[in-house]
Amino acid sequence: MAAFQWDWLRQLGARPWEVASYGLLDCLRSSMWNLTWPCIAAIMLLRRKQPVPNDILFARVLTGIVAAMFFGIFVVTPYHVYWQLITALHRLVLQLLPLAWMLAVEQLVASGWVSQLQATWLRTTGTPATALPLSNDSARRAA
């Protein structure tokens, strides 16, 4: 059994700020994530036209808890914090990205932005937008 190290306990006071600042700067780094996280944050700030349903609220809270647990692990790790952040942060944040985009798309729809975009498209072109075929079925049918 490993002995308790007091220097690790002294480092815990400064680690939350170190981890939060590194994580924030990393999410804003365009060479890694481009504008992904700033776009998600901006979308989540849009005003909703309808209240948040319970299942969406659950997904948002769950995403926040998972993110807090990821960053909490970095705070209490006995290893060097910057080494831990450099080696593991991208892999952990990447796991949250699909759920974050799904919640952002739901927020866009609930804010009415998508319907405004469709109305603008219809007004500009005069024809409804049609979906593109997923395969070459139309070419095969024509032949």
pLDDT in tens, the chain (143 residues): 456 677 777 777 788 998 999 988 988 888 888 889 999 999 999 888 888 999 999 999 999 999 999 999 998 888 888 899 999 998 999 999 999 999 999 998 888 887 777 778 777 766 655 655 555 555 555 55
For 64, the token pair is: 């926040």
In a domain, 75, yes or no: yes
- CA-CA distance, 94 to 83, in Å (whole number)? 18
Tally of domains within the chain: 1
Domain with 67, as residue range(s), is 14-124
- The whole-model pTM stands at 0.70
In a domain, 137, yes or no: no
In a domain, 135, yes or no: no
- CA-CA distance, 100 to 135, in Å (whole number)? 29
